[in-house]
Chains A and B, each alone.
Chain A
Amino acid sequence: MISLFLDTAYHNMIVGIYKDTEELYLSIEENDNRLSEKLLPAIKRAFDCTNLLLSNIDRIYVVNGPGSFTGVRMGCTVAKTIAWSLEKEIIPISELELLASTETTQNNKLALIDARRDCVYAGVYNQELGVIKEDCYTLLETILSNMEEDTVMISYDSFDFETMIPKINIPLVIEKHKFDHSIDPHLLNPNYLKRTEAEEKHDSTRG
């Protein structure tokens, strides 16, 4: 099975092509504010380098959040457009799970993304990327106070405590999701984990 792997949600712009779990191509670039400009050329480069066509792939793994709202939308728009128009399978992947894919520990892993105002996006995964605690948007203090002592914390962001920089392991993520059923491309949407400020204010004023 040939897969396209896309992640534009957070720290990196990742474009990968895999045959089952074998890496045929992988490009990881640090995300900057030119993501929308660079994403399609990066995808084209991936297919040019592997002498493959988009029509040759069987499925797309796309990170659909949490992370930068705009970043998540870029990857999801491209992925759902490809999946819809070429009738390809599409599987959403959590950015926090990708962070937790580091191989260096047998302990549970708490993946963290700074969501500002003392809040984080957080998820806890075990070594095989099984979900120990579902991804959530929460106060940092709350998630830390509920953590077991030997949990390893992973993040690209800097916090006042020690975090491991993730060494992402895409084959491990693909292995975990290889039997997942594709979702309808129309229903592939970002998982922001957070409502917009306007919605929060609107609801709070309505009591």
Chain B
Amino acid sequence: MKDTYIFAIESSCDETSASIIKNGNVEVATVVLSQMDIHALYGGVVPEIASRHHIENVTMVLEEVFRKAEMTMEDIDAIAVTYGPGLIGSLLIGVQAAKTLSYIYNRPLVPVHHIAGHIYANNLVKPMKFPLIALVVSGGHTELIYMKEDYSFEKIGGTLDDAVGEAYDKVARVLNLPYPGGPIIEKLSLEGKDTYDLPIPLDDNSYHFSFSGLKSAVINLVHNEEQRGNKIRTADLATTFQNRCVEVLTKKTMRALKEYHVNHLIIAGGVSANQILRNRFQELCLENNVELTVPQMKYCTDNAAMIGAAGYFAYKLGRRADLNLCAKATDSLK
């Protein structure tokens, strides 16, 4: 059977990325240009600065991926692009570039939801087996999704306020740690002990999450200790905060697997790079005879390879957009 090549573009936040994916599971070439160092100066992503860098980089990234793949647009079957959700000014650059190429080369345009991309990053590790539960954890998302087949997304729970990655960033800021908060809190937590009194957030029978309360508890704790003249034990607080996050994420996910009679779990999104979270899921999945798939580290943060993987299945299912395609800052996964 003829191979299918998807050319994918991702620009939903602060990474400009392009990729060529063969048959939904082989990465031919990917280029990711991250702006993380630039936004670190401001303590978080500044949308207008992100948009400005996307447009400066976009054609260079496109050129580089074709050079790496030793391919041309003529070899491409379809163009996949992240249309949302994300920062609207950032998304627009990728969407306009994708629409332009689709028009010039008369190739089908396939719109891809950013979270579908994170989920399908796992298909680049091994073929996804259905039914499955996907836990999507990132700076913008904390969602539990039941998939009975390709491109069937049933959201069974999600955050009611802050995403887990967002809570990491905000806690890091309170502790005067650099952006992004996840990696540094994870690193510090290895040196600390779980000694602070922090609640398990939204520890109930639902599949929803809430990290705003936990974040506020950390902020209040820091202020109270400062007022009393006590020094914050940063590593201990990082350990305690991380343990609460990991506990609630693993607890609700394992319950979902049981209640939905599913024995395949995939983890997706930037926070899936957290080794403590990975290790805990590995232990629990082993105990409960659940097959666990986690994306390679390079696919945890935003990248176009995952959009190409998701785009392949969307393309095969006949999903198309025309030149009117609009970027969307918010959109549900469907």
A39-B35 Cα distance, complex, nearest whole Å: 27
A190-B42 Cα distance, complex, nearest whole Å: 22
Interface string of A74-117 (1 = CB under 8 A from B): 10111011101110000000000000000000000000000000
Question: Is the CB–CB distance between B104 and A86 below 8 Å?
Answer: yes
Q: Of B51, B92, B103, which one neighbours A43 at CB under 8 angstroms?
A: B103
Q: Of A41, A82, A190, A199, which one neighbours B55 at CB under 8 angstroms?
A: A190
Q: A72: nearest residue on chain B (CB-CB)?
A: B55
Provided the pairs A36-B92, A81-B96, A84-B63 are in contact, do residues A199 and B49 lie with their beta carbons within 8 angstroms?
A: yes
A102-B182 Cα distance, complex, nearest whole Å: 56
Not counting A85-B105, A202-B42, a sample of 13 additional A-B residue pairs whose C-beta atoms are within 8 angstroms of each other reads: A40-B324, A41-B324, A43-B103, A44-B103, A70-B92, A73-B89, A77-B97, A77-B100, A81-B97, A190-B52, A196-B48, A198-B48, A202-B41
Closest 7 CB pairs of A and B: A40-B323, A81-B100, A77-B96, A84-B59, A198-B46, A196-B48, A40-B99
Interface residue B60 (Cβ < 8 Å from any Cβ of A):
yes
A38-B46 Cα distance, complex, nearest whole Å: 27
Q: B48: nearest residue on chain A (CB-CB)?
A: A196
A70-B97 Cα distance, complex, nearest whole Å: 14
Q: What's the nearest-Cβ distance from chain B to residue A116, in Å?
A: 15
Interface of A (DSSP majority class): helix
A78-B59 Cα distance, complex, nearest whole Å: 10
Interface residue B326 (Cβ < 8 Å from any Cβ of A):
yes
Interface residue B58 (Cβ < 8 Å from any Cβ of A):
yes
Q: A34: nearest residue on chain B (CB-CB)?
A: B326
Residues of B within 8 A of A56 (CB): none
Question: Is the CB–CB distance between A76 and B55 below 8 Å?
Answer: yes
Q: A197: nearest residue on chain B (CB-CB)?
A: B48
Residues of A within 8 A of B93 (CB): 73, 77
Question: Is the CB–CB distance between A54 and B60 below 8 Å?
Answer: no
Q: Of A69, A74, A86, which one neighbours B96 at CB under 8 angstroms?
A: A74
Interface string of B95-112 (1 = CB under 8 A from A): 111011101110000000
Question: Is the CB–CB distance between A85 and B101 below 8 Å?
Answer: yes
Q: What's the nearest-Cβ distance from chain A to residue B185, in Å?
A: 24
Q: Of A39, A69, A76, A186, which one neighbours B48 at CB under 8 angstroms?
A: A69
Question: Is the CB–CB distance between B49 and A186 below 8 Å?
Answer: no
Question: Is the CB–CB distance between B96 and A84 below 8 Å?
Answer: no
Interface residue B128 (Cβ < 8 Å from any Cβ of A):
no
Q: List 7 A-B contacts (CB under 8 A).
A: A73-B55, A74-B96, A77-B58, A78-B97, A185-B59, A186-B60, A192-B52
Residues of A within 8 A of B104 (CB): 54-55, 82, 85-86
Provided the pairs A54-B104, A198-B46, A198-B49 are in contact, do residues A37 and B324 lie with their beta carbons within 8 angstroms?
A: yes
Residues of A within 8 A of B41 (CB): 202
B interface size (C-beta, 8 A): 32
Provided the pairs A36-B326, A198-B46 are in contact, do residues A73 and B56 lie with their beta carbons within 8 angstroms?
A: no
Question: Is the CB–CB distance between A44 and B96 below 8 Å?
Answer: no
Q: B61: nearest residue on chain A (CB-CB)?
A: A186
Interface residue A27 (Cβ < 8 Å from any Cβ of B):
no
Interface residue B147 (Cβ < 8 Å from any Cβ of A):
no
Interface residue B33 (Cβ < 8 Å from any Cβ of A):
no
Question: Is the CB–CB distance between A74 and B92 below 8 Å?
Answer: yes
Which has the most chain A C-beta neighbours within 10 Å: B89, B96, B325, B327? Answer: B96
Q: Of A34, A43, A80, A86, which one neighbours B58 at CB under 8 angstroms?
A: A80
Interface string of B314-334 (1 = CB under 8 A from A): 000000000111110000000
Residues of B within 8 A of A158 (CB): none
Residues of A within 8 A of B89 (CB): 69-70, 73
Within 8 A of B (CB), among A26-46: 34, 36-41, 43-44
Question: Is the CB–CB distance between B103 and A54 below 8 Å?
Answer: yes
Q: A43: nearest residue on chain B (CB-CB)?
A: B103
Question: Is the CB–CB distance between A80 and B59 below 8 Å?
Answer: yes
Interface residue B135 (Cβ < 8 Å from any Cβ of A):
no
Residues of B within 8 A of A41 (CB): 323-324
Interface residue B73 (Cβ < 8 Å from any Cβ of A):
yes
Q: B325: nearest residue on chain A (CB-CB)?
A: A37
Interface residue B62 (Cβ < 8 Å from any Cβ of A):
yes
A24-B233 Cα distance, complex, nearest whole Å: 71
A77-B94 Cα distance, complex, nearest whole Å: 9
Which has the most chain B C-beta neighbours within 10 Å: A44, A70, A81? Answer: A81
